[in-house]
Structure 1
Amino acid sequence: MRDPAAKGLGALLGDSVRHAADLVGGEFELLRRETDGNIRAILGLVAAFGTASLLVLAALMLFVVFLVKGLGALLGSEVAGALVVGGPFAVAALVLLVLGMRRMSRENLAPRRFERQVARDARMATRPRD
């Protein structure tokens, strides 16, 4: 015959395991809900930021068209106005292109910090111990 105290202990252990599993399950459900809410909020912010960016870009394009038309009226030729307005944009685009190409060179993309850290770790590992 089984000892009543052992049966009580087994029931207590079973209950504690079941409650712990319920607690872990509840924690994971809370994590899932919180993560879902955060993802929805981030997607909403990305949509708002994207819309604002498009509106700013459209406003800038209208401003550039206004400048070209205005300078064209002052200079007597829209071609001259387009050259005056578009010239700095072309120069800026060329400078950014050159800087980007330099930045993307193979030497600049090498993982220098990683290489230094591995060399430092190798020196520490092979250093004679006192």
Structure 2
Amino acid sequence: MAPPTPSLGRLISEGLRHGGDLVGQELELMRRETDGNIRAILGVFACFGTAVILLVAALTMVLVALVKGLAALIGSEILAALIVGAPFAAVALILMMLGLRRMDRSNLLPRRFERQIEKDAALMTGRNDD
């Protein structure tokens, strides 16, 4: 004797239930994967942060040693500090000026967005400016 065939309504309800279960499982997998990725990124930031702190400390020690060595040669620690620090101050000033120029309001406007909106408007109205 053949098993009874389920009704169409029962098949649809089972399909919807299984589909809902599948979507729930996919969302849970995405949440777990995202949590793992966020933890990994935070770990990388912690490593980079520590490395930057140690690098700054090491460079400071190198610069202090350079000032002390130069002071021993020329006899003035103040002049040695000025000689060692001047190139760093010049580079910092140049970088600051470049950064300020880059942050100018005209450079921060969304130019590509404006061009794309104009293209889309032209396409919708039937104009072709290309």
Instruction: Identify the TM-score tier after normalising by the shorter chain.
Output: 0.7 to 0.9
* 1:104 maps onto 2:103 in alignment: yes
> For residues 13 and 20 of structure 1, what CA distance do their matches in structure 2 show?
10
Question: What TM-score comes out, normalization by structure 2 length?
Answer: 0.83
Cα offset for 1:123?
Answer: 4.1
**Would the alpha carbon gap of residues 20 and 115 (structure 1) be closer, same or farther in structure 2, given more than 3 Å must change?**
closer
RMSD, aligned CA = 2.0
Cα offset for 1:41?
Answer: 0.8
Paired residue type of 2:29:
L
Q: Deviations over 1:61-110 (max 9, x none)?
A: 11111111111111111101101000101111111121122212222222
Paired residue type of 1:42:
I
Identity of aligned residues (%): 60
> For residues 21 and 121 of structure 2, what CA distance do their matches in structure 1 show?
47
Flag structure 2 segments of 5+ consecutive residues without an equivalent: none
Question: Could you say which residue in structure 2 is the equivalent of 1:127?
Answer: 127
Secondary structure, aligned partner of 1:50: helix
Question: Could you say which residue in structure 2 is the equivalent of 1:10?
Answer: 9
Paired residue type of 2:58:
A
The alignment of Structure 1 onto Structure 2 pairs a total of residues equal to 124
> For residues 112 and 32 of structure 2, what CA distance do their matches in structure 1 show?
39
> For residues 85 and 69 of structure 2, what CA distance do their matches in structure 1 show?
13
Paired residue type of 1:59:
A
Secondary structure, aligned partner of 1:127: coil
Question: What TM-score comes out, normalization by structure 1 length?
Answer: 0.83
**What is the correspondence of 1:28-39 to structure 2 with a 5 Å cutoff?**
28-39=27-38
Cα offset for 1:9?
Answer: 2.6
Question: Could you say which residue in structure 1 is the equivalent of 2:24?
Answer: 25
Secondary structure, aligned partner of 1:49: helix
